[in-house]
Structure 1
């Protein structure tokens, strides 16, 4: 049986601290240091959660990145060329600073609370013998082992940006340990507290098939001229079928935008309504992954069921934007799901008062601001306009 090397690495990283904890045991010199290491491991996770929460609430990371961009052209060019790496780099630096502040605070608290207890525990363990001290060392090493495993998973996650090999990506995607840590921890770290929606949103739930159709055209001499054309199907429907609207959709769109004075206000209220009222359909995503195109796709079924996947969100946005008198596009490309780049769809809408197209991703609404936002640079790429209306 072939062993997944990613699983093997993670198992070794988890077990090693436990074995060392038992072998080294507790002694009078390092017992406090061992407890402090456990606290540091817990603080590391707490710091990550705190940092992500602060970033989500105050857009702190975007503010810092924008400030750094203005320091020099070199930094700005690096951020433009490597947006993903820059995003993670700034995040890690910010996390490091906050982490050390927390360490300072916990050290002060320890000196007046935990240290006296540790002194007694030290004396008690010495009386009980070597095996007992080893068992305590093993138990206290468990949080450290968990923290190390998570850190290694984050490192493996960052390596996916460099596109090392397809075989590496395959090992990553088939590693049950990595996938578990990624789903439970990494996705919360790399985005916002609401990003638990994103792993579901960014499965490969957009399937594009190009079909060549031969057609005949009669000539005067009764012969037929045969020519072919291509029909593109998105999740089993054509683009025109997907964006097809009805009176209910048109009426709601016009009602929502009736008192909006600018195109940008109209575009934003549609983005907010779709992002708030449409839920991501996990079952449909799984069916699409299995190439089951019997499930209904497009604006109308999404509006009626209040559920859909990225193509459906984008179709509904097109339908509502058209009903509101906005020029709109359907864009297909790739999105990053915390593990790899996968097929994705979103929109662009033309803002007359600014004479430009802006990007809108209502599927990502619950993950943060994806209305004309620089966040697109972090997790969207290879965009191509599928249609414009």
Structure 2
């Protein structure tokens, strides 16, 4: 009401122009990035980028992790291309719209410079029109916040804050009466699928990090792996022999655990050190298994997440997955738990004690 009709109209026009620019930017960026993504992948594949089998500096590790992830993971590639396209296209849209918005804004100062003008109040009709304009502007902003919260609670319903958001009366009215009738079913059906796809791809990117770190396979490790699987005739037999060998040869390093828990000092070690010292924690078991398995031609992953601690809870853990062509699927195994007894090579209850990182 204080701003009056003309000033409130300018605020409303600015919000409307921002909304138009955003929607156009998203639509055009989505089309452009969807078109460009396969072409970028083809170009990257043509470069024949291979992770060097030598010790890599930190910047080299980052480069090969990033460039191979962009090449191999479609959601990551699409996301990066979309952000680049959106940043460029929205600036172009702003430049096209700027003359019209600037001319509108320049028609009358939003905040009068003179004290005498600032003290003048708009008329009753102008105040009423300004109030209506201001209400529409505020309502639009409020709906954008509720829409963002709706997407958040749909994507991450398990978070602690989601029930508090959903319990809000204002949120319930906005979400159920406005957002959900317009796009709620689409979001509710598609976002969880998209979330799972992102989780799986992010997990693969984490695995790629260890593939880059451990691309170099020392000769003594490769020789040991060949000796371990010498009598095996199938990939499953090779994978099991390595699982048992690492699980019975490597001892769990409780000193390393205590150093981290008590002093927050993490001792990073390469598979070569684990192989030489025969000591390590779960991630060290898993990285050594991956290196030995790759040296004999097996396709293997390092998986991180949570493992059952035997006391009713879960703690940070790492294990492996190996691809068996005879079954045409990835099977899980946990060489760290061999010493604790039981079968941890693709048992039926593996998912009950191991939760993948998401």
Q: Determine if the TM-score, normalized by the shorter chain, exceeds 0.5.
A: no
More helix as a share of residues: 2
TM-score, length of structure 2 as denominator length: 0.40
More strand as a share of residues: 1
TM-score, length of structure 1 as denominator length: 0.37
